[in-house]
Amino acid sequence: MKPSVIVFPASNCDRDAAVALEQATGKAPKMVWHGESDLPDTDFIVLPGGFSYGDYLRSGAMAARSPIMRAIVEKAKAGTPVIGICNGFQILTETGLLPGALLRNAGLDFVCRTVALRVENSQSMFTSGFSQGQYVDFPVAHHDGNYFADAETLDRLEGEGRVAFRYVDNPNGSARDIAGVLNETGNVLGMMPHPERVISPLLGGVDGAAFFKGLVEAAA
């Protein structure tokens, strides 16, 4: 696997994502600056968490229009796996690679704690390390994580098995407790929780290690 982590101004989980990928693959991923217009030779792309461009205009809005995103949209449409975590999820909805939008948390508070998730679809390449209906604990840390889409879109996502994770105890008001969604072809995942923050007992959990191990095995 030749993963890449995209770095935007004010990304702050890019190094965590790199460590998680290195732990799972045995090799450091390429770090790619947002201002580049071409991607290196890569077969897995991570859009990390953070507050790219200070969340100006809308969370993820500016990053979604940065030069590297044109190449990423093209790659994603050709089938390359792309995962967006937290701010990365916001960026993916802003590019239109994933439906819906992430609104301000319903309770207005920044939510920063570990939450339980239910694996709703263990058939995707990103979730194959888990079994259907398994509960996992991932941290969340966001202000704009309230997943919103119209009822028709939500019905379609549920009907097509494109809800990857649901919150057990909804922390942000997300429609239908949705924590992570897949695109139509299953090669793009966006999720608000942070698997890269729980990859070792030293960090308080290992469910994220299983997540990265599963997706690396599925991609092999």
Partner 1 sequence: MKAKIHITLKPGVLDPQGKAIEGALKGLGFDGLSNVRQGKEIEITLAETDEAAARAKVEEMCKKLLANPVMENYAIELLA
Residues of this chain that interact with partner 1 (CB under 8 A) are: 57-58, 61, 65, 93-94, 99-101, 103-108, 146, 148-149, 173
C-beta of 73: minimal distance to partner 1 in Å? 14
Cα 38 from Cα 35, distance rounded (Å): 9
Q: Which is nearer to partner 1, 151 or 220 (CB)?
A: 151
Q: Which is nearer to partner 1, 42 or 174 (CB)?
A: 174
Cα 212 from Cα 1, distance rounded (Å): 12
For the record, the structure tokens of 57 come out as 């205009």
C-beta of 24: minimal distance to partner 1 in Å? 33
Residue 66 makes CB contacts below 8 A (sequence gap 6+) with 8, 34, 35
Which residues form the catalytic set? 86, 194, 196
C-beta of 104: minimal distance to partner 1 in Å? 5
For the record, the structure tokens of 88 come out as 């990365």
Q: Which is nearer to partner 1, 11 or 90 (CB)?
A: 90
CA atoms within 13 A on the CB side of 14: 20
